[in-house]
Each structure stands twice: as C-alpha cells, then as structure tokens.
C-alpha cells in the first residue's frame, strides 16, 4: 500500500503539472533571488498531501512549500511538488515531482516523475531502481576527465572560496562537459540511469535529494557529502556518481588535482 500510494501521488501530481503547463498561473517569489513558487506548486502539493493523508493520516510530512507537518510516526514523506520551478514557470519541460519516504531515519522509497518525458523513476531500498518498470544502472566510466557531469548553481554565494564557480571552472578547464538542467531530482535520476556519470552540488534541501539519492544508490552508484561520508539529505553538500569516478570528483572539489 505504501508503494501504491507513492506512485499514485507522484503520477497524479505530474498529470496536474502537465495540464497546467503553458497555462496562465500566478508566480510569486519566496525569500531570495529567483526563488520562485507558482500556484501550480501549491496545487501539486495538495494533490500529493491529500493522497498521503487519505491512506496514512498519521504519517509525518516534510514539504518544500508547507514545511513540516509533524506527527508521531516512524514514517516521513519528503515532498517537492515541483522540482525545477524556474524551468516550469518559463515553459521548460525539465521539471518533476519528487517524493521520498523515510522510515526510522532511513530512506526506503523514492519516486520522481517527469510527465513531459513520461519518465517515472522509482527506487526501493534493497530492491533496485527502475525507469517505467525497467531496471536501471549507473554508467561504467572510470576516468573522471572523460565523464559527463551535471551540477546546479545557486543564485547567491557563487564567488565564495572553493564555491560553485571555482569548482565548475576546474572541470571545464580540463574539458569535462558539465551540464546544468535546473532540477536536482532529475540530475540524480539521470545519474542512476547512466546518462550522466556524476553530479555534485554545493547546497541542496532534503526535498531536492530525498528520492534521487536513493535512486542512485539502488542503481549501483555512490552518494556522499563533500567529505566522502555517507549522505544525509539533511545536510547541504552532495556528490553522486557511478562509484568509479567518485574520488576523482571529490579531488576536484577540494582542489587536490595537479595541473601539470
């Protein structure tokens, strides 16, 4: 019932996103620069939360737009009703619904749905990761300099020491293709599916990565913080990879690569 509820919530919210895409809707700015929220974000969140509450009314919920709805439960649903809101608001179809389910502090289920590509990613702890019911695996590349990476940039603190621009510059000066899609959940799923070999980002929230990091791990990849420690979605730094190039990405992030 847990998996079925997760799938229903993700698919129904994605259907709503697709129906409202290119329509007229209100766009507001939250705290910070270009931190957008649309009325479709709120509508998608309502669809998801109503679905969860109809079957699990006592479960804890953490959602980007509503914050924490604290309940005395061992289950927590971590929701991003639209990951990639800036893309959505500008008519760019690289955005998705992302929902992770945590049990006793461990992520056990994840779903990410991009209705524009009709791609439903699902992961279950210990049972693998799937794209539209087909198993997926990370890539097999072993050389970080021949890899294809993806990252995200914040709208502030770009120029901090060893920040996003410095790390990005180290990769591109070596000729490494580094993409920016604007949706961390999709970035992680595409690492899980072998489309990208690795992903790193300096600052994420739990709802950005809860489902996606489980996807990478269950597809055979590796996810850590910037220190190489096991990843927790409640801290900001994330490196996800196929495992083979993981140490190479960390070396670049920490400027441990010689330039001779």
Kind of pairing between the strands at 222-224 and 238-241: antiparallel
Of the three residues 82, 114, 135, the one that is the final residue of a domain is 135
Local mean pLDDT, 10-residue blocks, the chain (260 residues) = 96 96 70 65 94 96 84 94 93 97 97 98 98 98 98 77 90 96 98 98 95 98 97 96 98 82
Q: Give the count of domains, the chain.
A: 2
- Whether 190 is in a domain gets the answer yes
Asked which of 67, 102, 135 is the last residue of a domain, the reply is: 135
CATH number at residue 77: 3.30.540.10
Q: Are residues 74 and 34 in the same domain?
A: yes
Last residue of a domain, one of 114, 135, 156: 135
Q: For residues 222 and 171, is the Cβ–Cβ distance under 8 A?
A: no
| CA gap 43, 116 in Å, rounded | 18
pLDDT reported for residue 69: 81
The domain that holds 176 is classified in CATH as 3.40.190.80
Same domain, 168 and 91: no
SS3 169: helix
Q: Are 119 and 208 in the same domain?
A: no
7 and 131 in a single domain? The answer is: yes
Please give the span between the terminal C-alpha atoms of the chain, in angstroms, as a whole number: 57
Pair (111, 199) in one structural domain:
no
Q: Are residues 23 and 104 in the same domain?
A: yes
**pLDDT for res 33:** 54
Tell whether 13 and 108 lie within a shared domain. yes
Asked if the structure places residue 259 within a domain, the reply is no
CB 186 within 8 A of CB 81: no
Three-class SS of residue 222? strand
pLDDT given at position 29: 65
Q: Which domain holds residue 226?
A: 144-253
Is residue 196 included in any domain, yes or no?
Answer: yes
Tell me whether residue 20 is exposed, middle or buried, using C-beta atoms within 10 angstroms of its C-beta: 0 to 12, 13 to 18, 19 or more: middle
Let me know if residue 260 belongs to a domain: no
* 148 shares a domain with 130: no
The pLDDT assigned to 70 comes to 82
Q: Tell me if 214 is assigned to some domain.
A: yes
Rounded CA separation 129/111 (Å) = 10
User: What whole-number distance in Å separates Cα of residue 258 and Cα of residue 127?
Assistant: 40
pTM of the predicted protein model: 0.93
Which residue has 């009325």 as its token pair?
39
């Amino acid at each position: 019932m847990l998996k079925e509820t997760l799938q229903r919530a993700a698919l129904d919210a994605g259907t709503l996103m697709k129906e409202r895409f290119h329509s007229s809707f209100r766009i507001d700015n939250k705290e910070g620069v270009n931190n957008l929220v649309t009325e479709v974000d709120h509508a998608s969140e309502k669809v998801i939360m109503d679905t969860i509450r109809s079957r699990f009314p006592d479960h804890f919920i953490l959602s980007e737009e509503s914050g924490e709805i604290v309940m005395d439960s061992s289950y927590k649903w971590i929701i991003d009703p639209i990951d990639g809101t800036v893309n959505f608001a500008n008519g760019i179809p690289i955005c998705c619904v992302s929902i992770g389910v945590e049990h006793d502090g461990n992520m056990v289920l994840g779903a990410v749905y991009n209705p524009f590509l009709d791609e439903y990613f699902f992961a279950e702890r210990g049972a693998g990761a799937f794209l539209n019911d087909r198993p997926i695996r990370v890539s097999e590349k072993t050389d970080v300099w021949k890899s294809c990476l993806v990252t995200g940039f914040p709208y502030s603190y770009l120029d901090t020491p060893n920040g996003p621009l410095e790390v990005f510059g180290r990769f591109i000066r070596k000729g490494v293709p580094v993409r920016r899609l604007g949706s961390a959940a999709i970035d992680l799923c595409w690492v899980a599916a072998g489309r990208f070999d690795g992903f790193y980002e300096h600052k994420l929230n739990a709802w950005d990565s809860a489902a996606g990091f489980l996807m990478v791990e269950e597809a055979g990849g590796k996810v850590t913080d910037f220190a190489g420690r096991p990843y927790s979605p409640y801290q900001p730094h994330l490196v996800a990879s196929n495992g083979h190039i993981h140490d190479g990405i960390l070396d670049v992030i920490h400027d441990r690569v010689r330039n001779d």
